[in-house]
A and B are shown apart, each in its own frame.
Chain A
């Protein structure tokens, strides 16, 4: 086989062969993979065979045969054209030559027994000057590969559907031959001719054969051939797979020979070409099942299924279906149950923290509130001297929060008694993070602090160039945070020494998440970054259409983050590729949380959203009376979240 590496020639790829196949082999002579590099002997026009068939030109040269356009001279008054297929032998060893001759004779014998409008008629078969010839009906038209390349894009569904039905008919005819079905084994666009009246004809029966249930070696054409043919198995269902692959190619213009084999399910038809009807796509995708027994049971069954698709049904009901889908999407969005609502005196921008049966949240009315988690009853509040947008954190028996007044406060969780305060030079909008007894927090005074949680004393501080609104992320020996100066910092938690800093193009107020040795963080340069935690190098970047101020949340193999462009994004952790996005139509600065396979977040449209984490479909949404910039906390089936309508909500998850 010429496809196998030979010294000094090809390694074995034949993407080019696809192009040469297309034009050069209209009558389908080439066994698949037969390299056309060997120069074939070509007869000149004017040569007459058997005193009857005159050569008029060459139609194509394949691996083991040449096809000429010819004329039957026995019809004196009319021009009766024909195709003359001449077998030639290039193989050096006599066994192969004998096998080739047998194959050629078998093709002739096979075709002679068949009678179908989509199969070329055989007129004659003879030997002359030591060569073997087959005289066939000449098909006027183009093969589908040529049709597709001339179209320069996907072919319309109705046209392809009509061909599909015809192809099913001819396959059904072949498969019902007695005593054994005939398996075509090499269905592909270049083996299908379409005539001027849009009738299709199968060409190249070079490897078609009666089904003999022993293992053969002929594979067909890579990209179209089903997996079982690689194991030498060819059943009627194998032709259905190749037919599915052929139709997939025609409808998407995505060449299966250049795609990873057997990946049709990863490239759904409607994803590549949304204009295809779901019904038609479903028929083809069933034919493309990896496992033979999951495909259509027969070509006839597939044909009947095709006839039920909207394009081929006489009465079209496509409009009604579209209307139904639209109605489903916009009416009757499910909501969830409100468990309780706790009203403060100003906006709740802070994100709640649930601990010891209590919910702690800061409010712009300057208070840190403690509320009973079960019933939403007031427990205590502690008044600072500025609004609170920082989100509280609990460590042992204290709750810590930053305030616009520039201080960090620590209160006893039971009664709200002040334990200590730590003053910075500017408002504290970053939120505390606790590890052991150390509290890490940033300030608008451009410093990032490590504070002793017992005494409220500074352990170290690190100065940056701009206010720090981002909150820290502690992993290993490092704490990671973003700066208003556009840098992402990695500091040693022990002494605040900088391990690395990596620049983004704009301010970073998103807070990092850590997973798989990567630091994931959004930037106001519209990008979500995954940085190598060792050196800060960007492993990947994911671009959105606006700021990414929401903080990413890693769950399973995905990163979830909200965009100011209105989308909630699910991005693959490994490579930064989009898994799905959900467009809320309003800004998202709230940070998503994932619990039990569901993503929760708020948006500026006042709604709290709950999406299916796997697919990004809406499960419910709950409307508050003001924008939701707070991020949810989820505990025991309850979602706690603040709203700018001054209230803290507890919703059924």
Chain B
């Protein structure tokens, strides 16, 4: 897994002297670069950024890997009991330019709202829009321009914190108790950055099975993490849905961040508790592995939850990664 390279000492000058060598190369010491000087030098020497093989026989250009075949399907359903659908979902798949072989950027969000008088619907929609807006503005647009300079982990956490503040402020104005879960997964190249608050889950599916990437922010979920409660006995625990952390019900919140290389995973699944509370992991895995089309698989997941009674709103985003 981890290759430990032993770094060498690169800087053999104290930094004050290091600053001095930069001014030695006076023509290039200012930024932005003096393009005329650079071009003049480039003409005289050779084109910057070019690689010059010593051998005369030309080396073939590197063939980039084929673009990944990513497909996402998303669905939300009111269920059999509730009168409103308080879940909100969002998906986005984009390519972004890179020196060799453009990369894929995917953004997938599920928010499960709570609170009376339509508060849950409002909160979950506000969460999704605030997170999507921040990531599109600070990551997608700069990426298309070829200049990502944000820290992805920080961006994902801050986007949810910003959603939290937006909802909290709105709730203070209207005297609402609204709040929401929010699980946002960013796929960039072959890595996932998931920011997470509440009990909407992210799962990664590979040939070995289904793996839950997030921890539910309920005391029951925490006891499961600590090995004090069995997941099967937790399913019926009276406090299963009692969250200690949500988006929008506190002025400041902590946001979990999961950084996960996708490796040889085949699918990413985001599921609200209306789905995972009704359909166990093995059943979800079976559906995902046997139905090839993400659109039909996501439909089958929702159907399974409804057949189990559909006591809550059901939301799922299924991303096929290969």
Do the two shown chains form a genuine complex with each other? yes
Asked if A11 and B114 sit within 8 Å, CB to CB, the answer is yes
The reply to whether the CB of B43 lies closer than 8 angstroms to some CB of chain A is no
Interface of chain A, main secondary structure: loop
* B: number of interface residues (CB 8 Å): 92
The reply to whether the CB of A466 lies closer than 8 angstroms to some CB of chain B is yes
Asked if B7 and A553 sit within 8 Å, CB to CB, the answer is yes
The reply to whether the CB of B28 lies closer than 8 angstroms to some CB of chain A is yes
Contact with A along B148-159 (1 / 0, CB 8 A): 111111100000
The reply to whether the CB of A351 lies closer than 8 angstroms to some CB of chain B is yes
The reply to whether the CB of A587 lies closer than 8 angstroms to some CB of chain B is yes
The reply to whether the CB of A65 lies closer than 8 angstroms to some CB of chain B is no
Which segment of B15-23, B285-293, B295-303 sits at the interface? Answer: B15-23
Q: How far is the CB of A188 from chain B (nearest CB, A)?
A: 14
Chain A residues within an 8 Å CB radius of B241 = 4-5, 11-12
Within residues 601 to 648 of chain A, which ones have a CB less than 8 A from any CB in chain B?
604, 627, 629-631
Closest to A14 in B: B242
Q: How far is the CB of B59 from chain A (nearest CB, A)?
A: 5
**Which of B14, B49, B61, B219 lies in contact with A261, CB distance below 8 A?**
B219
Contact A465-B9, Cβ < 8 Å, known A230-B223, A261-B244: no
Question: How far apart sit A3 and B153, CA to CA, in the bound complex (Å)?
Answer: 33
Chain B residues within an 8 Å CB radius of A501 = 99
Q: How far is the CB of A34 from chain B (nearest CB, A)?
A: 13
Chain A residues within an 8 Å CB radius of B179 = 11, 13, 15
Question: How far apart sit A574 and B21, CA to CA, in the bound complex (Å)?
Answer: 35
Chain A residues within an 8 Å CB radius of B115 = 9-11
Q: How far is the CB of B271 from chain A (nearest CB, A)?
A: 15
Asked if B10 and A511 sit within 8 Å, CB to CB, the answer is yes
Asked if A11 and B15 sit within 8 Å, CB to CB, the answer is no
Closest to A351 in B: B9
Question: How far apart sit A499 and B51, CA to CA, in the bound complex (Å)?
Answer: 12
The residue in B244, B253, B312 that gathers the most chain A C-beta atoms within 10 A of its C-beta is B244
Number of A-B contacts (CB under 8 A): 309
Q: How far is the CB of A524 from chain B (nearest CB, A)?
A: 7
Q: How far is the CB of A13 from chain B (nearest CB, A)?
A: 5
**Which of B81, B114, B188 lies in contact with A532, CB distance below 8 A?**
B188
Asked if A469 and B11 sit within 8 Å, CB to CB, the answer is yes
The residue in A8, A534, A536 that gathers the most chain B C-beta atoms within 10 A of its C-beta is A8
Question: How far apart sit A217 and B14, CA to CA, in the bound complex (Å)?
Answer: 66
Asked if A631 and B151 sit within 8 Å, CB to CB, the answer is no
Chain B residues within an 8 Å CB radius of A516 = 1-2, 261
Asked if B114 and A10 sit within 8 Å, CB to CB, the answer is yes
Question: How far apart sit A431 and B223, CA to CA, in the bound complex (Å)?
Answer: 51
Question: How far apart sit A548 and B188, CA to CA, in the bound complex (Å)?
Answer: 27
Asked if A538 and B120 sit within 8 Å, CB to CB, the answer is no
Chain A residues within an 8 Å CB radius of B61 = 497
Chain A contacts to B: CB under 8 angstroms: 1, 3-5, 7-16, 33, 217, 219, 222-223, 227, 230-231, 257-262, 290, 349-351, 389-391, 393, 429-431, 433, 444, 457-467, 469-471, 473-475, 482, 484-486, 491-492, 494-503, 507, 509-517, 524, 532, 534-541, 546-547, 549-555, 564, 574-576, 587, 589-591, 593, 604, 627, 629-631
A-B contact pairs, 13 of them (CB 8 A): A4-B239, A8-B82, A217-B238, A230-B229, A231-B228, A389-B12, A467-B21, A499-B99, A510-B10, A532-B191, A537-B189, A538-B150, A551-B9
Additional A-B contacts beyond A459-B54, A627-B14 (12; CB < 8 A) = A13-B242, A16-B177, A33-B242, A261-B222, A290-B226, A459-B53, A463-B50, A464-B49, A532-B152, A534-B191, A539-B193, A631-B8
